Amino acid sequence: MDLDSDCGFGFAFNNVHFSDRLLRIEITNGGEITNVDPLQDRKRRRKDVNARAVGGENEKECNPPASRVTELHISSPILAAKSPFFYKLFCNGMFESEQNHVTLRIEASEEAPVMELLNFMYTNSLSSVTEVPALLRVLIAADKFEVASCMKYCTRLLLNRPMTLPYVLFILRLPWTLLLADFVKPLTIAARHFLVMHYQDINKFPPEELMALPLLGIMMLLTSNDLMITSEDIVYDVVLKWAKTNYSVLEERQGILRRLARYIRFPYMTCPRLKKILTSDDFEPSVAYKLVLEALFFKAETSLHHRAAITAASHGQRFIERAYTDRPIKTVEFEVPHRQCIVYLDLTRKECNALYPSNRIYSQKFHLGGQEFLLSACCNKEQPNRFHQFGLFLKAQVKGSVSLTVDYQFSARWKPTQEFVIRSRGRYKFTGDESIGFRDLFGTSWASFIGEDSPYFINEVLHLRVELSIRL
């Protein structure tokens, strides 16, 4: 029987004439309701320790004495219709269920939300509860006593409140099982959306603010594909710093990082950072080896075109590329006969279109000879009376007083053979932050380069290659 109706039974609340039981609420001097960490939530069970019928003398001896007692006249049919918890309490066939009184034992911090919950079961409203923290406490009580209609009601009220960071942090500290409840999922989704949008550019926030996020908040951020970061290395460094800040014990921290690893996009991290993981104690050695090996195989065997077809459902979310501000690259390094690296940069037609008329896109950094390099693709117009062209540049960040002489070669795949064709080559001595490259890599106008019949796009992807060799 469902008593959710417009009329309600407010007139019967704590009215002896419309009640068949006496509810005795024992209020103990317990601590505040604590927020449950998702990792620890597996230990949480809905027990009748804090809220149950108290029957014989032996049971009373096992519980601390109540500091206060509140008595209410209740109607067992109304409460049983609203809550499976109370239904079982009144109909369990035990001795205490046959008495005209039952006892609940709750903590002092639960008193106000429980009283509001009992009133809701009669009136179908929370007229005196308006603030977000109070609504969330009633929501927790409704979950504990299995009052689904109140959970739905609280969620609807909370969704009508404007999202703020303090509000979202309140939500993230709700019990994990409550956040997964069907009635509460819309609230969880709204909180995630706000959090992801708020921290989309994580670089602009002070580190201590990110370090103060709960575990669920970090997990939600890691599920976003739209974080404004240059590379997955930045994401990993933030997660690692968060774990070290919040978990000082190595074994506990390794457990947390192993849990978060499913959300970190290891295949899109740079090879130097992956190598560093193998020599660190961030993960247990077996876990680190598995994550790094999986990432390296993905880099070696998966093209950009195939990556675009990968879905989280079939391969796991860590294989989905985020919207990095710096484009991921694939590098191959050689030590003999001389130090050399080959860098592959793939750009979609959509990304190239976004370069017009004067924009630029950067690749992630790579290393050669102990120095940092990156690639830069752009649309430029060298002279007022000339067409726009596609340009590609190599930028070096040589530090200190050293110099580095490099042989370079720029290539691109062309139809119909789909083989790499050399566009230009040369030698340059880098002595600082310098760039070399070509304002017109393909010797054609932008319209011809980007057009539907362009020979440079294969399956809507432009494949570029730069080969670098150190010369002593």
Between 142 and 386, residue with greater pLDDT: 142
Q: What is the pLDDT of residues 184-205, one digit of tens each?
A: 999 999 999 999 999 999 888 9
Looking at the predicted structure, is the pLDDT value of residue 32 above 70? no
Query: 14 falls in which pLDDT band (50, 70, 90)?
Result: low
Match 């309701």 to its residue by tokens. Answer: 33
**Beta carbons within 8 Å of 390's beta carbon, 6+ residues apart:** 352, 355, 377, 378, 379, 440, 441, 442, 446, 449
- DSSP secondary structure letter of residue 41: G
| Distance of alpha carbon 408 from the chain centroid | 40
Q: What is the pLDDT of residues 300-317, one digit of tens each?
A: 775 544 554 554 444 567
Mean pLDDT of the chain: 83
Query: 82 falls in which pLDDT band (50, 70, 90)?
Result: very high
Domains and CATH numbers, the chain: 10-192 (3.30.710.10), 199-319 (1.25.40.420), 330-471 (2.60.210.10)
d(CA 325, CA 327): 6
Between 28 and 199, residue with greater pLDDT: 199
d(CA 340, CA 350): 31
Phi and psi, residue 466, nearest 5°: -125, 125
Position 1 scores a pLDDT of 40
Half-sphere CA count of 221, side-chain side, radius 13 A: 25
Looking at the predicted structure, is the pLDDT value of residue 429 above 70? yes
Contact 80, 38 (CB under 8 A): no
Position 76 scores a pLDDT of 86
Query: 180 falls in which pLDDT band (50, 70, 90)?
Result: confident
- With H, G, I as helix, E, B as strand and everything else as coil, classify residue 352: helix
Position 328 scores a pLDDT of 87
